Structure 1
């Protein structure tokens, strides 16, 4: 894995962020309201994003690992997590 310059203000990164935001929101709405379930969902989602980036580097499809994509994925998941957490707190 080579270090490349990370450009966080690109459309590609915004799409990554939005996809992981909605991924965690929609999945989180189906979970019970327990705090531990939301935390587990956050960890699984971030780990999933990391595995996808690593697989792009390893598999022979011409794709590469990008830290910027991983950071955007994690940021979207974190934003979704906090919104879910605050929303579920208000409901109970």
Structure 2
């Protein structure tokens, strides 16, 4: 996920423009990230909250790195919001289904 977030713009697919498809990709990546790690960790309420906070912070940190590192990338609030939305959706799904999982 880190390498996908930091690759130079010229290496990315820029020709596809389907309703900001990249925001959907951001959302899905963070959704699956939190689902995967949430299933690996104990699904106690505090562990899931900590995972959510770390995941959102991780997304913010990657956006900041895109701005300051010389890869031709920039910080985008839309990407950060999509990252956080994917993490939140995954968190709520894990939280609602934690009794079924154990």
TM-score bracket for the superposition, by shorter chain length: 0.7 to 0.9
Is the alpha carbon distance of 1:2 and 1:51 closer, same or farther for their aligned partners in structure 2, counting shifts above 3 Å? Answer: farther
Normalized against structure 1, the TM-score is what?
0.87
Deviation, structure 1 residue 88? 0.2
> What are the Cα deviations for residues 10-59 of structure 1, in whole angstroms up to 9, with x where unaligned?
10000000000000001000111210000000000000000000000001
Q: What is the distance in 1 between the residues matched to 2:46 and 2:85?
A: 19
Structure 2 SS opposite 1:48: helix
Q: Check 1:24–1:2 CA distance in 2 against 1; reply closer, same or farther (3 A cut).
A: closer
Moved more, 28-37 or 74-83: 28-37
The structure-2 alpha-carbon separation of the partners of 1:41 and 1:64, relative to structure 1 and needing over 3 Å to count, comes to same
- Residues matched between the structures, number: 92
The SS at the match of 1:46 is helix
Deviation at 1:89, TM superposition (A): 3.4
Gaps of 5+ in 1: none
Aligned to 2:38: 28
| Unmatched tracts of structure 2, length 5 or more | 1-10
Matched-pair contact (CA < 8 Å) for 1:8–1:72 = no
